[in-house]
Amino acid sequence: MTEQYEPRIIAFCCNWCSYAAADLAGTSRLQYPPNIRIIKVMCTGRIDPVFVLQAFKHGADGVLVAGCHPRGCFYVHGNEKTAYRMEFLQDIMPMIGLEPKRLRLEWIAGSEPDKFARICREMVEDLKKLGPSPVRGGIF
């Protein structure tokens, strides 16, 4: 019997919006795959690109960065910084052997638990099509 591949996903979620949505998704018993490991950050603007690369280096097949909607950031400009950093990472990922689809940036309000659950399901399905990360557990 062959074991089915299940992707490992790290989700960096901002405390004020997307983490609240994830929490509400859980308490509302919305169905989403257990493949997601959430790391709560006060603001996505605090996420250094190195954090994302380290997640891949240490075994993540995909990384989700989820924060407040534009112009809705608790820290005013944090999500704008995040957008620039994630665009940079998307550009360099092919250089280190990773498909850009393994990194996803989403804006999720605390009142959108259904959106959080849907994005998690979509990301798991997308990563299953891509297969395991080519740098899983390795060094770039």
SS (H, E, C) 72-92: CCCCCCHHHHHHHHHHHHHHH
What is the number of alpha carbons within 13 Å of residue 13 lying toward its C-beta? 24
pLDDT-derived band at 2, boundaries 50, 70, 90: very low
Q: What is the pTM (predicted TM-score) of this model?
A: 0.93
User: Any idea what the Cα angle at residue 136 is, between residues 130 and 140, rounded to 5°?
Assistant: 110
Upper half-sphere CA count for residue 139 (Cβ side, 13 Å):
0
Q: 81-100 pLDDT, tens per residue?
A: 999 999 999 999 999 999 99
Q: Is the pLDDT assigned to residue 140 strictly greater than 70? A: no
- The whole-angstrom separation of Cα 73 and Cα 109 is 10
As a whole number of angstroms, the longest Cα–Cα distance in the chain is 52
- Domains of the chain listed by start with CATH number: 9-130 (3.40.50)
Please write the tens of the pLDDT for every residue from 18-74: 999 999 999 999 989 999 999 999 999 999 999 999 999 999 999 999 999 988 888
